[in-house]
Amino acid sequence: MSVVDNAIYINGKRVAVPRSLDHPFGELKACPAEGHSFCWIGLLRPTPEEIKSVAEEFGLHGLAVEDTVNAHQRPKLERYGDLVFVVLRPARYVDAVEVVELGEVHVFVGADFVITVRHAEEPDLAEVRQRLESDPDLLDNGPFAVLYAVLDKVVDDYGPVLDGLQNDIDEIEVQVFDGDPTASKRIYTLTREVIEFQRAVEPLRELFAELRERLRERAGESDLELRRALRDVADHATRALERIDGYRQLLGNILTVNAALVGQRQNEEMARMTRAGYDQNEQVKRISSWAAILFAPTLVASIYGMNFTFMPELDWAFGYPFAVLLMLLLGAGLYVVFKRRGWM
C-alpha cells in the first residue's frame, strides 16, 4: 500500500509498470538501449522493510537509507558518488485551525532512477508526475527533471502558507490594539510556527547551490535548461525566505508593542486605583472630621448626663448656657482645624 506509483520511462514516456519493488531495476536493464530510460518509484510512509528492499535493489547508500528510515531530518542535499540524496520539508496551511503543518519528502536521484519517499500526505506528488508525463521533453531530462519538479511543487506550496501567516499577523495586530488578553499567547505560538517554517526554507539556498553545481558538472544541453529552471525555483524560495524573515521581525515588533500596551493599560489601571484610593481617603477624612465634631458635644452632654449628686454646674444659673456654648465652641474649633488641613 505504500507504493503510490512505480513506472519506467523512455524518452520521457511511460513504457512499463514493474510488478513489485523487487523488479524495477531488472526490467529497467531489459529496456531497449536507444533513448534515455529511468525508473521512478513513489512511496508513501513505507515500512523499514520496504525501504531496505528498494535500497538493495538500487544499491542506495546506507547513511541515506538510515535517514529515510528514521525521518525527521533537516532539509539538505547529500552526495554519495553518483547518488544524490535530497531531504525537503514541504508545508501547508491548515485554515480550519490556523496552523502550519510541515511534512517531509526524501528524494534519491541516481543515473537511471529516482525514488521519492513521502512521510506525510502532502504534497501530492501525483500532480508532479502528471505534469511531467504531460511534458515528455522535460521528463526526457531524466531523474533530475523529477527532482526539479518536486522542488518546484514544494516551493510553490509555500505561497499559500505565507498568505495564511500574513492573515494571522493581520488578525493579531487587531487583537493587540483591541486589548485582547489572548494576543500574547497567539503571538508566541505564531512566532514558533514562523521559526519552524524558516528552518524548513532556509537550507534551500545551499541545496540549490549544490544542485546547480552538480548539474554544471554534467555539462549537458538539457542540464543547462534544468539549471535555468532551478534558478527560477531558487528565486521563488529566496523570496519566500525574505517574507518569512519579514514576518519574524514583524512579530517581534508586535510583541514589543503588545508588551508596551499591556504595561500602559496596567499603569492606567494602577492610576485609576490610586485615584480611587485617594478619593476614598478624602471621604474617610470628611467622615472622620464630622465624627470628631459631633463627638465633642456628645462628650460634654454625656458628662452632664451622669446624674452625679455633687455637680456644681447644676446649681449654677449659667450652667446650661455654658454647656451649650462649650459644645458649640468645641465643634467650631474642630471644624476650623479640619478645614485648614483640607479635610473638609
* Domain assignments of the chain as residue spans, ordered by start: 1-133, 281-340
pLDDT value at residue 84: 92
- Cα(first)–Cα(last) distance of the chain, in Å? 89
CA distance 55 to 57: 5
Q: pLDDT at position 220, please?
A: 58
Instruction: State the CB neighbour count (10 A cutoff) for residue 145.
Output: 24
pLDDT at 309: 65
pLDDT of residue 244: 95
CA distances from 259 to 165, 166, 172, 271 (A): 21, 21, 13, 18
pLDDT (0 to 100) of residue 37: 81
Question: How far are the Cα atoms of 33, 175, 179, 186, 248 from residue 182, in angstroms, in the given order?
Answer: 66, 8, 9, 6, 19
Full-model pTM:
0.76
CA-CA distance, 177 to 21, in Å (whole number)?
58
CATH architecture type of domain 1-133: 2-Layer Sandwich (3.30)
Q: Look at residue 33 in the predicted model and tell me its pLDDT.
A: 47
DSSP 117: E
Q: Per residue of the chain (344 residues), give pLDDT as tens.
A: 577 888 888 888 888 776 666 655 555 555 554 557 888 999 999 888 888 888 888 888 999 999 998 888 899 999 998 899 999 999 999 988 889 999 999 999 998 899 999 998 888 888 999 999 999 988 888 899 999 999 999 999 999 999 999 999 999 999 988 888 888 889 999 999 999 999 999 999 999 988 888 887 766 555 677 888 889 999 999 999 999 999 999 999 999 898 888 888 778 788 888 787 777 877 787 777 777 777 777 777 777 666 666 666 666 776 677 777 877 887 788 778 877 777 66
Q: Which residues, other chains included, contact 220 with Cβ-Cβ below 8 Å and sequence gap of 6+?
A: none
